[in-house]
Amino acid sequence: MRDAVVADDDLSAAIIALLGWGTSSHPRSRVQETPGGASPLEERAQAAVTECLAIAPDWTRDDLPTAGRRARAELAARHPELSSGALDALAWAYTYNWR
């Protein structure tokens, strides 16, 4: 029997907030500088964004929307703990940065 994946609601919310999904006209991709540095949760969110943006598109077979869907699917497979909203935010940042 497979273990159930435990959702990481805090990380998902941190990714959405970091990128500005739903509140900004374009994604942000860096944790805001604060005295004392980023929290461990902010660092994990930043790592997820960095991982997402490092996925190389295959322009020989994909257009931008397709590349975004492939990146989203790859992240969903790597990080099943992320919410659909967090994956959508990451795909949004991906397509914005690769346009």
Q: Read off the pLDDT of residues 9-38 as tens digits, 9 standing for 90 and up.
A: 999 999 999 999 999 999 986 666 666 678
**Mean pLDDT of all residues in 81-98:** 97
Q: Is the pTM of this model over 0.75?
A: yes
> What confidence score (pLDDT) does residue 38 get?
80
In a domain, 80, yes or no: yes
Residue 43 in domain: yes
Per the domain annotation, does 59 fall within a domain? yes
Region 72-91 average pLDDT: 97
d(CA 26, CA 92): 9
- Position 2 in a domain: no
Give the structural domain span for 78.
9-98
pLDDT at position 54: 96
pLDDT band of 1, cuts 50, 70, 90: very low
In a domain, 67, yes or no: yes
Average pLDDT over residues 39-46: 92
